[in-house]
Amino acid sequence: MVYMRVPNAGYPQRGVCHKRSRFVRLYLKPAVKAGFFVGNSAARYFRNKGKGSLPTFVPSMRRKTMRNDKCTETREYPAFAAASALRGEGVFPDLSASPFLTIPSFVDVHVHLREPGFFYKETILSGTTAAAASGYGHIFAMPNLNPVPDTLENLNIQRAIIEKDARIDVRPYGAITTGEKGERLADLAAMAPYVIGFSDDGVGLNDPALMREAMRIARRLELPIVAHCEDLTLRDGGYIHDGVYARRHGHKGISSESEWRPIQRDLALVQETGCKYHVCHISTKESVELIAEAKARGLDVSCETAPHYLLLCDEDLQEDGRFKMNPPIRGRADQEALLRGILDGTIDMIATDHAPHSREEKSKGLSGSAMGIVGLETAFPLLYTKLVRAGLLSLERLVALMAIAPRRRFGLPDAEEAGDYAVWDLSQAYEIDPESFYSKGRATPFAGEHVYGKCVRNVLGGKTVWDTNDGSADNAKGML
């Protein structure tokens, strides 16, 4: 078995947690219970009653399938040295001295590629180039486009551009309702063979009768409903979280109830219909609790969160459009609940909700800017730096959240069998510079953050889609 030692960085960083005792209660104990530590460093830490150094993660690329607290399957994902893989010399026996790591290529189940209809924000070429350069092999494209993919005819417009321009695998969602207006159902059956699921992402579907019928059809078609859960009647003109920052600075807030109330309603419909159901970008502690309860009842439910909800809370906001997205960055208690959720398995995966806009659309402050930030090119470096290197999460668990769990939930082939992998240089340290992005979008709240990790090679189905050593980066810049 190959191991890669991740250096222990001591205390968690500011904005995640402040005290060691709180860290142990909120994060470390759930992580140990869930089996995300290798070795006995955590047990030794508890025996010493919290004295000494925090446990060091020594994760392997070994996946354990847990069911009823029992390991039912173990599959190894050996970590390759990038130099060895590139030379075709096989697997290094020990990676402790190597900064390179090969892991399954990531799957992002929530990406806005903006084409057709909004090519000034992003194109399928620019968005998939950003994804390829960031270790992603598969991305799922949201349907808030023009035309909306609500019929096979409209969907085929998008599919034709994907076929022509995509640098990696892109799987579109079909809309749940015509025009995403929430008034009548789209042509779900006609689109079913060509989509990964059905979503009205960008707006909430607030008609329970229509959602019930959509779930019944989706179950018959054996595809998931992927829900943007937002009750617009509870939004009341808000544009950031209804919390500390909004009250201090006189902004209109979005309540947490506007997210968790529709989730609560939908879970009752899942119980009734037996539909496969996935919740987009959860951001509140109540959402985590509802999904945990639903899973305990045996419902076919999964969910995602995004890096900005794990790494920021509303106390970190600035008067800048790059801090504005929907749902908004929530309070500290919500952030802590989400971190617990990725440790205990309540949250199944991490998606980016990559949502690029033009500079003009993001230049109007918190109140006037469009909602959405980019995330494909920052997700893994941020999470590796802020969570793994900080000792909050094992590298193995992060890979599961970004690569393995999405494949299994949405029925993609196993990465090892498909020949999908990415090589990362974890020693590369740099500051996030939006001007270097391949995406057309530039808005990120993490501009200037110091991070580690660059993707140096990305292979999809045995074919190289990105390689920093063969001119791919220069060619991509020229094409864009």
Q: What pLDDT was estimated at residue 422?
A: 96
Q: Over the stretch 462-474, which tens digit does the pLDDT of each residue have? A: 999 999 987 666 6
AA letter at 297: R
Other beta carbons within 10 Å of 52: 11
**Predicted pLDDT at 480:** 64
> In this predicted structure, what is the pLDDT of residue 469?
82
Q: What is the pLDDT at residue 45?
A: 37
pLDDT in the model for residue 473: 63
pLDDT beyond 90 at 478? no
Of 279, 285, 406, 262, residue with least CA distance to 339? 285
Residue of 150, 200, 242, 353 with catalytic role: 353
Mean pLDDT of 283-301: 98
**How many other CB atoms are there within 10 angstroms of residue 274's CB atom?**
12
Please give the pLDDT value at position 474: 63
Helix axes 332-344, 285-296, angle to 10 degrees: 30
Could you tell me which of 375, 435, 443 has the C-alpha nearest to residue 106? 375
459 has which bridge partners?
421, 464
Beta pairing partners, 101? 424
The reported pLDDT for the residue numbered 61 is: 35
More confident residue, 47 or 434: 434
What is the per-residue pLDDT for 235? 87
Statement: residue 299 has pLDDT above 70 = yes
* pTM for this entry: 0.82
Weakest mean pLDDT among 18-27, 71-80, 226-235, 399-408: 71-80
pLDDT in tens, 97-128: 467 899 999 999 999 999 999 999 999 999 99
Which of 326, 319, 307 lies closest to 378 in space, CA to CA?
Answer: 307
Mean pLDDT rounded to a whole number for the chain? 84
pLDDT tens-digit series, residues 373-408: 999 999 999 999 999 999 999 999 999 999 999 999
pLDDT number for residue 462: 95
Cα–Cα distance for residue pair 435/424, rounded to 1 Å: 21
Check if 236 is active-site: no
Across 159-176, average pLDDT: 98
- Is residue 85 pLDDT above 90, yes or no? no
Of 64, 58, 61, residue with least CA distance to 35: 64
Mean per-residue pLDDT, 74-98: 34
Query: What's the pLDDT score for residue 279?
Result: 98
Contact call for residues 76 and 86 (beta carbons, < 8 A): no
Chain center to CA of 42: 28
pLDDT of res. 65: 35
Give the model's confidence band at 18: pLDDT under 50 very low, under 70 low, under 90 confident, else very high.
very low
Residue 95 has pLDDT above 50, yes or no: no
Q: What is the mean pLDDT of residues 124-133?
A: 98
Q: Pick 120 or 85 by higher pLDDT.
A: 120
> Which residue type is seen at 345?
G
**Ordered alpha helix ranges (H), 166-256:** 188-191, 208-221, 244-249
Q: Does the pLDDT of residue 157 top 90, yes or no?
A: yes
Greater model confidence, 384 or 6: 384
Of 66-70, 141-145, 164-168, 254-258, least confident by mean pLDDT is: 66-70
* Rounded (to 5) percent helix, strand, coil in the chain: 40, 20, 45
Which residue, 126, 122, 163, 129, is CA-closest to 145? 122
198 DSSP 8-state letter: B
Q: What is the edge-to-edge ordering of all strands in the sheet holding 450-460?
A: 100-103, 421-431, 450-460, 463-467
What is the arithmetic mean of pLDDT over 220-241?
95
How confident is the model over 202-230, as a mean pLDDT?
A: 97
Please check the confidence at residue 231 and state whether its pLDDT lies above 90: yes
Statement: residue 74 has pLDDT above 80: no
